[in-house]
Structure 1
Amino acid sequence: MVSKRLFVNGRFTTLDPSCPFAEAVYVEDGRIRMVGGYEEVILQAGRADVERVDVGGGYGYPGLVDSHLHLVAYGMTLSMLDFSRVTTKAELLKMVRDQARMTPHGEWVRGLHWDENRLQEQEPPTREELDRAAPHHPVMLTRHCFHVQAANTEAFRRAGISRETPDPSDGAFGRDERGELDGLVYENASRRLYEAMPPSSRAQKKEWLRKAAREALSKGLTGVHTEDLRELGSVSDAWHMYGELTEEGIYLRSHHLIYHPFLEEAADFGLQTGTGDPWRKTGAMKMFADGSIGGRTALLSSPYTDAPSARGMPIHSQQELNEWVRRAREKGFSVGVHAIGDGAAEMVVRAFQSHPIPPGGRQRKCDRLIHGQVLRSDLVQALKHLPVVVDIQPRFVVSDFPWVAERLGSERLAYAYAWKTLLMSGVDCAGGSDAPIEPLDPILGLHAAITRRPPEDPAGGYLPEQNLTPLEALRLFTIGSAVAAGEENERGTCSPGKAADFTVFDRDLLAANADALLEARVSMTVVNGCIAYRG
């Protein structure tokens, strides 16, 4: 592996105030040693033992890092039915029926990204409809938010779920007016359906990861913050599997959130927040405080505007949440909590305040409030005074509007998806996709943060006062992701001494025309000074 490279003929935006723009970057042993003008850098680094890499006039930026996704799950979903563009139940059911015809009897039919708000009928598929579409197969279809499933009778039979099955404390089974199962399964009630499926082999899981990692690099991502333990099932297997990627020459950095049931296993394996190697780092313990707005399981402090009897569903009591945070601190972990509604965010803030991050340790640590879609002003003020990063997903605006306005109402909408407010208030934010819920492509995330509208919609965007500037959007996926990982001294800017991770595009991502972003193509993804992807 070449240890010295000089990247020339580029237009680099470094995000480092001491040298905001550069024409050349000199890399040695995976570290940036010098950035600046071509003549300046070539004078210092133009030696015979240095490999020159022509960037071809491309536009370089600090390596883009997705601060919240599920990489293995993303790879897994690449082989499932995708209902994201389906607009009628008839079309959805035809896809299920066609897939069932091609699938041996008795094997599962899986699909994802259905959303009743995008269907003409404005209602989800029912158990009976799925029975008719696939009478000889168990069927489970995952809603776009991944917090609600639609299943048929055979799937329920395999899972041992019947009319008499009680709801678990952290989920629910949908029922009709007669008390019969209607096919919908909310939150962790789906656990039994997953347990009824045949286990995937390690080789299959590895292939999901391999495909997803290559896809990430091709989109310009130099690293990901990922939570995979629900798919991989073992801390040690996850750790070794990612290590094998590097050995195969797939150079993608990974920062791993530890799903809370695996906390003890992770600690016994010798992990805590900040441990790892240059390619794999341990992140926060991850847990859920609520569900999704689309499924009306996100916990709000007052009822949903379009469903006055519903406020959402807490996954844990305040006491349970506090106790998990305490246990994480005891094991040396920071904590990241999925909290979409303001009721859930309030619980998370209380838990963080009850058990703050202890001082000291090998690395600066911060907690994460993941999603934070509905945040009252008092919660924003509380977050300012905590070592917390808010993990935001700009694409959620594109997916959730306009129907979310009916769920939340005009008063609550004023402090929903308020990314600009968070930044202006001094709250650290990082940008992610939550793939496979949203597309993996960071360009789509940047476009959504800047325009707050779908690519095909020329209108002014939803709540345009919350639009971010191109520079603010870029910082979410660079400096913001580095801060979330406690690694702002290691990455996030193209600065001497930092890791040589950067992404080169064929056009300027900071240009005034945001829609031109959608035409941007990755020319080169550089990780640790190595060309991990070339377009």
Structure 2
Amino acid sequence: FPSGATLDRVAPDHPVALVRIDGHATWANSAALHAAGIERATRDPDGGLIARDARGDPTGLLVDTAQRLLHAVEPRPTDAQFDRAVRECLADCLAGGLTGIHEMGAELYALASYRRLLERGEFPFRNYVAVAARSKSTWEHYRERGPERLADGRLAIGALKLMADGALGSRGAALHEPYCDDPGNTGLVLMDGPEVERLTLDALGRGFQVCVHAIGDRANTLVLDAFERALARAPRPDHRLRIEHAQILTERDVPRFRHLGVLPSMQATHCTSDMAWAAERLGPERLRGAYAWRSLLATGVVIAGGSDFPVESPNPFHGIHAAVTRRPRTNDDHGWQPEQRMTREEAVRSFTTWNAFASRRERDLGSLEVGKQADVVVLSDDVFTCDEALIPEIRPVLTLVGGEIVYRASRIQADVYTTQP
């Protein structure tokens, strides 16, 4: 990993902090460490790591919860700046063919922005929100308030997001056995099993769904165990508990999703982004349970599909292509661990009907049926019949949310509207 000394050479006085693409590690210079009060005597927080040199001095690399030490001194955007960023993000999503998202880990300042935009008629989108448990003020607010659904479901606050471990790229994903390329390191547990169980019971009792980030096999076991204990104490037939990522699983844990009624929420492009180095981290034994879509589907569960953006592109056709081929968009080989691929129908369902089910919206979203919301994308090609290599090239021609046109391509091909006899 890089050190802060490299940043010091180009920014000796101005605090600089660069966040890894997955949000699980930050590279900071000496000025940023000083501003945050991070020094040799600073202890690693629970669930976090301050990387240190041979003398014990921080190198500038902060992993998982250690990043919060920097967050406390980072400048915050103004309301106007944040609102503008949200509008730009929504425009990108609509242009990419999304009519809505599931947002994991929103805090009060973001939700305030969404409300402002809704009031101004500038939120032409659907957002199913899981509020962040890491923000005590956010969870305390909604814990007392309960779930909310605003503007005909454009903004629905219905879940609690927990974090069980870190990420594979920064070696923070919690594993049962050490990393193959970092002996002695088994990753980071950000929330222990009893706390996951406690918050799960609390949230379910107040009408919220629970979504827990778990990437490593140890984290997934921890969360499944916590869910099992919670459901034994307070059985609920339709809880729809979710594990976000479910990225590396032991053979024993795969059928437990179905047995417990837990929904795996997975991101196919993580597989194609990680495949170049995942074997170095995990070794051949653990790879058999990595990104194991077919193994999970074979048990009878459904998989909620997504992108985890901004970690990956929000383009759903990139995700569908990755699910169907298990290869990068620039490659035409047979795919990585091709036995775990989804069919095209399964991949599309993971972004439509199965996602609607995963957010308790299957009665009004996810498919084109009488009585459901007219959330529609008109596409430049048929995702079911086009050459699979061309799936990532599919573009929306029109995007409608609630029957309203919210995106129109600047150049619409006439043949898109041609009705064949």
- TM-score by shorter chain over 0.5: yes
Deviation, structure 1 residue 511: 1.8
The one-letter code of the counterpart of 1:372 is A
- What does 1:76-155 align with in structure 2 at a 5 Å threshold? 124-155=1-32
- Residue 400 (structure 2) aligned to one of 513, 523, 526: 526
Aligned to 1:378, what secondary structure does the other structure show?
coil
For 2:161 and 2:113, locate their aligned partners in 1 and report how far apart those are by CA, in whole Å.
15
For 2:110 and 2:100, locate their aligned partners in 1 and report how far apart those are by CA, in whole Å.
21
Match of 1:367? 241
The one-letter code of the counterpart of 1:371 is H
For 2:335 and 2:27, locate their aligned partners in 1 and report how far apart those are by CA, in whole Å.
31
Contact 1:175–1:182 (Cα < 8 Å) also in 2: yes
Match of 1:423? 297
Aligned to 1:337, what secondary structure does the other structure show?
strand
Deviation, structure 1 residue 472: 1.2
Match of 1:166? 43
Higher relative contact order (CA 8 A, sep 6+): 1
Structure 1 moving runs of 4+ over 6 Å? 273-276
Q: Deviation string for 1:90-127 (max 9, x for gaps)?
A: xxxxxxxxxxxxxxxxxxxxxxxxxxxxxxxxxx3211
The one-letter code of the counterpart of 2:341 is N
Aligned to 1:282, what secondary structure does the other structure show?
strand
For 1:239 and 1:442, locate their aligned partners in 2 and report how far apart those are by CA, in whole Å.
23
1:483–1:408 CA distance, 2 compared to 1 (3 A):
same
Q: Report which of the two has the higher share of strand.
A: 1
For 1:319 and 1:495, locate their aligned partners in 2 and report how far apart those are by CA, in whole Å.
42
Match of 2:56? 179
For 1:470 and 1:234, locate their aligned partners in 2 and report how far apart those are by CA, in whole Å.
35
For 1:521 and 1:334, locate their aligned partners in 2 and report how far apart those are by CA, in whole Å.
33
Match of 1:296? 171
For 1:474 and 1:322, locate their aligned partners in 2 and report how far apart those are by CA, in whole Å.
33
- Residue 313 (structure 2) aligned to one of 439, 452, 465: 439
Structure 1 unaligned spans of 5+: 1-123
The one-letter code of the counterpart of 1:366 is R
Aligned to 2:49, what secondary structure does the other structure show?
strand
- Residue 282 (structure 1) aligned to one of 152, 157, 160: 157
For 2:119 and 2:53, locate their aligned partners in 1 and report how far apart those are by CA, in whole Å.
48
| TM-score, length-scaled by structure 1 | 0.73
Contact 2:149–2:155 (Cα < 8 Å) also in 1: no
Q: Deviation string for 1:463-484 (max 9, x for gaps)?
A: 1111212111111100111011
Aligned to 2:248, what secondary structure does the other structure show?
coil
Paired residues, number:
404
For 1:497 and 1:142, locate their aligned partners in 2 and report how far apart those are by CA, in whole Å.
44
- Residue 456 (structure 1) aligned to one of 330, 344, 349: 330
- Residue 343 (structure 1) aligned to one of 218, 241, 249: 218
Counterpart check, 1:473 vs 2:350: no
Match of 1:326? 201
1:408–1:355 CA distance, 2 compared to 1 (3 A):
same
Structure 2 unaligned spans of 5+: 410-421
For 2:148 and 2:345, locate their aligned partners in 1 and report how far apart those are by CA, in whole Å.
29
Q: Deviation string for 1:381-419 (max 9, x for gaps)?
A: 111022321110001012111211111110110111111
**Structure showing greater Rg:** 1
Counterpart check, 1:377 vs 2:377: no
Match of 1:224? 101
For 1:254 and 1:273, locate their aligned partners in 2 and report how far apart those are by CA, in whole Å.
12
- Residue 253 (structure 1) aligned to one of 109, 113, 126: 126
Match of 1:502? 376
For 1:461 and 1:419, locate their aligned partners in 2 and report how far apart those are by CA, in whole Å.
14
| TM-score, length-scaled by structure 2 | 0.92
1:273–1:347 CA distance, 2 compared to 1 (3 A):
farther
Match of 2:109? 233
RMSD: 1.8
Aligned to 1:385, what secondary structure does the other structure show?
helix
Counterpart check, 1:389 vs 2:266: no
